[in-house]
Each structure stands twice: as structure tokens, then as C-alpha cells.
């Protein structure tokens, strides 16, 4: 006899509903925004590394 899942059956639709809502309301970024976000993140990382090493950017 196999067990299907440890999650109660009433919770599965609720979790699926939450995933569907998050998927539908997820923010869509343009290509330029994605590049800007990555560059800003890298800039912050480089500044943190510079602070630890003693270099100021």
C-alpha cells in the first residue's frame, strides 16, 4: 500500500492557489531593468569586498 502525500488534502488546493496568485502577480522586468539590477547588485558586492580589503571604490 503506497502513501500519496503527507500533506492533508485540504491544503493542497490552497497551496496551489497561492502559487498561482504569486505567479500571476509576479513583476515582469524589461531586459534593461534586469541588467541594471545585476549591475547594482555587483556594485554593492564590490563595495563590500573593497571595505574588507581596504579599497574604496
Question: Tell me, what's the pLDDT at 55?
Answer: 57
Range 12-39 average pLDDT = 87
Distance (Å, whole) CA 35 – CA 31? 6
Q: How far is CA 25 from CA 3, 5, 18, 47, in A?
A: 34, 28, 11, 33
Question: Tell me, what's the pLDDT at 3?
Answer: 58
For 29, what's the count of Cα atoms within 13 Å in the CB-facing half-sphere? 8
Range 10-36 average pLDDT = 86
Question: Tell me, what's the pLDDT at 35?
Answer: 84
Which of residues 31 and 8 earns the better pLDDT score? 31
Which of residues 32 and 4 earns the better pLDDT score? 32
Amino acid at each position: 500500500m503506497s502513501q500519496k502525500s503527507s500533506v492533508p488534502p485540504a491544503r493542497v488546493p490552497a497551496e496551489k492557489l497561492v502559487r498561482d496568485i504569486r505567479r500571476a502577480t509576479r513583476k515582469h522586468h524589461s531586459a534593461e531593468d534586469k541588467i541594471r539590477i545585476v549591475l547594482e547588485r555587483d556594485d554593492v558586492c564590490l563595495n563590500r569586498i573593497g571595505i574588507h580589503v581596504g579599497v574604496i571604490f
